[in-house]
Amino acid sequence: MFFIGVDLGTSAVKLLLMDENGKIHKIVSKEYPLYFPHPGWSEQKPEDWFEQSMAGLKELTAECDKSQIKGISFGGQMHGLVALDKDDEVIRPAILWNDGRTGKQVEYLNDTIGKEKLSKYTANIAFAGFTAPKILWMKENEPDNFAKITKVMLPKDYLAYKLSGSFCTEYSDASGTLLLDVEHKCWSKEMTEICGITEEQLPKLYESWEPVGCLKPEVAEELGLPAGVKVIAGAGDNAAAAVGTATVGDGGCNISLGTSGTLFISSEKFGVDENNALHSFAHADGNYHLMGCMLSAASCNKWWMDEILKTTDYAGEQSGITGLGENHVYYLPYLMGERSPHNDPDARAAFIGMSMDTSREDMTLAVLEGVAFGLRDSLEVARSIGVNPQRTKICGGGAKSPLWRKIIANVMNMKVDIIESEEGPGYGAAILAAVGCGVYSSVEEAAKKLVKVVKTEEPEEELVQKYEEKYQKFRRFYPVLKGMF
């Protein structure tokens, strides 16, 4: 049997084919454009997602026994606003998770409605990337488009809708809309009223492993797949990545070094920190999780390498780096503002501490360390409420760097487990498809059986101490510079 995992990312859709034993047989990636029509805006065309996903599915399944494909599921970029009209046509380009246009709406939600009420309604406060502020922005700035809305959905759920005809979402992705009562797993009546929409405009809610339907006959025919292929609800990218790294059950931890960076801690119990600095979301395993999200992680290194150093030799740039914990240069990783724990869309990146003897290697190291320190900020919030994981899995493009993994282990003072199949959301989505098709009885059983740790990066006492001193200095920079942003 085969299962397909679809990772709908910001720069590309990545599809993988997995068998029931967790072996990956093929991976296909298809890119699509990202649009920045105004400074701070970030959009994509949902039609591009579907077109490239269909092309990817055809390529992925071209050489396999298609009769053995049983299910397809998704991990997807969260928070994006996809709005359809009565004819199921996309009304406007999707407003993405890293779009910063909603400052006024976030201020209204947090200050006028009030953070206390928002936390009561949804377990979270408003962030620029969340879906609800985007709905309010559309209502205020594009009233004609707003009036056309029949369906509001999230990016991966647009794919599910196009493939199956099911208007659906699931709890992990819905948690990031600021429209879901996370604790009670239902749409918040108060939030729909605040946003001026109805529950009928919102998709039906499922658990991540639940089937939402089968491939539409015309889609199955175009792909050459059996009509009975099940479409499984899937999960937001971070929850799917957590499944793909077996960060399930109680007390698991995963760090993702993708375009954005996340600290993800799974929990059987619902919980919220005092200042809502971490997101409190539902998890794809049926439980809950705390998550700190920084908007620029591996993208900081990509920017530094591609745009500043003008090189694609990432490994080569890191090969000459020595003197961990002794770098005199600091980097604030806020290229696109910051979410956790600062919630400041106006924050910006900065290098601090350069001198005449600062080298290319020092600057590169500062970028890697700055991202690690930013993730440590979220870990400190978790520790403040008694959540203190001792080890973590790691995934994302940045996790392929041995140097970055070592920095993470020592900045966090945690054991960092490297897994065999580091394919994050796509692998987690395929696991959810296997569960949804009945191969495994639960997400936790499947993840713990299929995900294998192959290596562990251990923190070193001396280096931990050096990085502790550096982190305490790092955390003082943002409050000082905040007024200048």
Sorted by sequence, the CB contacts under 8 Å of residue 295 that are 6+ apart come out as 98, 129, 260, 334, 335, 336, 337, 338, 339
444 near 245, Cβ under 8 Å? no
188 near 195, Cβ under 8 Å? no
Residues in the chain: 485
477-to-300, 349, 421 alpha-carbon distances in Å: 18, 11, 37
Which amino acid makes up residue 238? N
Distance (Å, whole) CA 164 – CA 160: 6
Distance (Å, whole) CA 359 – CA 338: 27
| Longest CA–CA separation in the chain, Å | 66
Which tokens hold the place of 485?
């942003």
Active site residue 7: no
212 near 74, Cβ under 8 Å? no
Distance (Å, whole) CA 397 – CA 399: 5
Closest CA to 206 of 266, 269, 156: 156
Closest CA to 396 of 375, 410, 412, 365: 375
Which tokens hold the place of 250?
């109680």
Candidate list 237, 273, 285, 362, residue with the active-site label: 237
264 near 75, Cβ under 8 Å? no
Sorted by sequence, the CB contacts under 8 Å of residue 472 that are 6+ apart come out as none
Cis peptide before 341 (omega within 30 of 0): yes
Query: Is residue 78 part of an annotated ligand binding site?
Result: yes
Closest CA to 79 of 142, 156, 185, 194: 156
Count Cβ atoms within 10 A of the Cβ of residue 356 and give its class: 0-12 exposed, 13-18 middle, 19 or more buried. exposed
Which tokens hold the place of 416?
């960092």
Query: Is residue 305 part of an annotated ligand binding site?
Result: no
CB crowding 122-143: b at 16 or more within 10 Å, else e: bbbbbbbbbbbbbbbbbbeeee
Kind plus residue range of the DSSP H or E element containing 131: helix 131-141
Distance (Å, whole) CA 266 – CA 101: 31
Distance (Å, whole) CA 465 – CA 94: 45
Query: From the CA atom positions of the chain, what is the Rg in Å?
Result: 21
List the beta strands (DSSP E) in 238-378.
253-257, 261-267, 279-282, 288-294, 330-332, 350-352
Binding site listing for substrate:
78-79
Q: Annotated catalytic sites, by residue?
A: 237
Binding site listing:
78-79
